[in-house]
Amino acid sequence: MGDGSARREQIIAIATRLIASRGYSSTTVRDIADEAGILSGSLYHHFASKEAVLQEILRTFMDDTLSHFERIVASGGSHREHLDQLIEHAFLTIEQRPDEVRIYQNETGFLMTQPGFEFLVDGAARIEELWIEQITAGQCDGVFRDSVDPRLAFRFIRDAVWSTVFWYRPGGRHTASSVSANYLELLHSGLLAS
């Protein structure tokens, strides 16, 4: 478990694509095996179970995302810059690893209650903490308006940003960074004129 043979990584890649497009419970072990060119039983030489595949996908995603976020807030810059960078990194992730984001967005709600997926709860909590720290600190600095509840602001931003994964398609009207810029402007200054 966890050693990265080429086969394993190929299977993870296939599973990620399939689960993202069909959902975890509608993706069968045979679907994955078929695309890997092996029989479904043979998958069990690489993974202990279907759930283990999902765990590995989500754990990798969560680890990467969290460590990026940690690096951002540990870097030099103002709290406002940090918040903007967190948002920009989210959009970058959506562009570069949309399948993982989709899986995370779709399956995480139910999975968080399941044994073996505690790392999702922990990771989400840590992320919430990191973001809220930036907002709260930015309010202390007088950069962010005091009247907004930091927790609500965090969820507002988080949900608006990550949800774009469901409709953003590269090559369409917008690039990830144009969406990012628009969202940031709206978030910074609001919808009302003057």
For residue 83, give both structure tokens.
């918040």
**3 state DSSP class of 105:** helix
Q: Which of residues 92-131 bind its own copies (CB under 8 A)?
A: 106, 109-110
Q: How far is CA 60 from the centre of its chain?
A: 11
Question: CB under 5 to 8 A by kind: which of its own copies, DNA, none does 7 bind?
Answer: DNA
Choose among DNA, its own copies, none what residue 152 binds, the Cβ cut-off being 5 to 8 Å by kind. Answer: its own copies
- Judged by CB under 8 A, does residue 68 bind its own copies? no
- What distances in angstroms separate CA 151 from CA 125, 128, 160, one per listed residue? 12, 8, 14
Q: What's 18's DSSP letter?
A: H
Q: Contact 176/94 with Cβ under 8 angstroms?
A: yes
Is position 149 an interface residue for its own copies (rule: CB under 8 A)? yes
Q: What type of residue sits at position 75? A: S
Judged by the rule CB under 7 A, the positions of this chain that interact with DNA are: 5, 7, 26-31, 37-46, 48-51
Judged by the rule CB under 8 A, the positions of this chain that interact with its own copies are: 22-23, 25-26, 80, 106, 109-110, 135, 142-149, 151-153, 155-157, 159-160, 163-164, 166-167, 173-174, 179, 182-183, 185-193
